[in-house]
Structure 1
Amino acid sequence: MARSIVLDAHARIIRHATPLFAKQLSHKYAQMNVNAVCADLSDNHGRPVTASYVQNVTDWVGAIAMAQEETWDYTLPVLDQPVASVAISLDGAMLAMKEEGWREAMVGSLSLAAIDPAGERLHTIYVAATPEHGKAVFLQRMTQEIERIKTQYPNALYLGIADGAASNWSFLSNTPSGNSSTISMPPNTSPAIAMAAYPGKTDKPKREQWLHEQRHQPGQDEHGAVEAVIEAAQRLTHKRSPSKRAASTRICKRP
């Protein structure tokens, strides 16, 4: 028995599947549900397997990949222009797991932009983590990628972009760099300001008109549109009572 286990390990057998078959199962299961995978293998490959076998093999492959990923280092491409700025962004979503309650799935990116006026994006690194309790694994991976990029491009401008989640602000604020800035914009920002400016039940036409004006200002680039929204929120904080400033104050705040 012990000899068989050793032989399987050296042959890289995964739950009685060869590496090639484990790869095929993982690829198919990523594209189809488990019943479709079983039908495809039986009808097109003459290899009937049970649904539990497909799930067990692919779960094992996923566990191996996640364990190995901690040591993986992706080679950056050779860029034909200098990197002027790096935008660091992250976001999460709470997912209800069947037996483990709520967990948070996280995604993040590091976007490298050129020095030209258009700020052409040269390359993007994507980071993600499956739902976990908290976000320690994801933040560790993000930190590793950020440190690697800062070593490669120490003189670039680093921008942190996230929504209003306090944990995102905390992470970005604690990511030191000699040349950095953090911008936090809650999702659905403009509608939030419109609601704060015109909160009445009969004010819907006014809110829609305000949103239309913000979205169709002539000659305004993307940066100007963001600044216009921030200025509108700042004006609102001075006009309304403290109880009705929440949406605009949150938008104006920059850590």
Structure 2
Amino acid sequence: MTRMEQPRRDNRREHRQGQAFVRGRLVPSSTHDQRLLARQGPTDWVHTDPWRVLRIQAEFVEGFGQLAELPPAVTVFGSARTPVDSPDYRTGVRLGQALAEAGYAVITGGGPGLMEAVNRGAREVDGAVSVGLGIELPFEQRMNDYVDLGVEFRYFFVRKTMFVKYSCGFITLPGGFGTLDELFEALTLVQTRKVTSFPVVLMGSEYWSGLMDWIKSSLLGTGKVAADDLDLITVTDDVDEAVRIIVEADMARSRQFEEETEACAAQVAEPQ
């Protein structure tokens, strides 16, 4: 190929919009979440918001359709900013591999850093399923190369629903605001019994020690949470222990379901 025939690299800014992407002057100045939640501006929102509901509905339908046939899965949260050569990244790879070897699909946010590490570890196991649930952001973040099934979302709340609906446990690696948001969303759902009592595991005792001390002193100490609420969280540095917690909780939930099913069947079979 001559120099004139070399393909030209497009260096324009690229922005994802659900299943599509735009470049250059077509990149919007705000995200769909921003426009949905904004209250400023003219009253044309009266006419546009009902149509926006259909787009939200479509995202739910797409997510349910893509993920409905996943095997049992575990969602792992973690920082997008963790470098590849860090100890946390290596832990993420081992965790993804261990979960896959235990028979679980792994679900992450699909981005770089610790999300990539977990997807990468899962991909090293034959037959494993590595899932990434991406999100539209003002600063672009591409889906990492270790995702087998990737779904892009415009709206955070739709994406969060998918994290929860298709998981039997949550593991949180060190991370920032986004990771904390996802962690406390999961804890709130478990605490309020909006979901079955799934295990919530924090990996990295040194990293999470300050948060756990604050929860015990400020939240528990002033009665903002109950002592039993602390039992919802397990902190560990051991990948094998984290996976064991997920497996044991999954087995216990399965036994409970079987017992409830048998009890219902016996009740129906009783002569009236």
Global fold match (TM > 0.5): no
Pick 1 or 2: higher relative contact order, CA cutoff 8 A, min separation 6. 2
Looking at CA atoms only, which structure, 1 or 2, has the larger radius of gyration? 1
Higher strand share: 1
Give the TM-score, by structure 1 length: 0.31
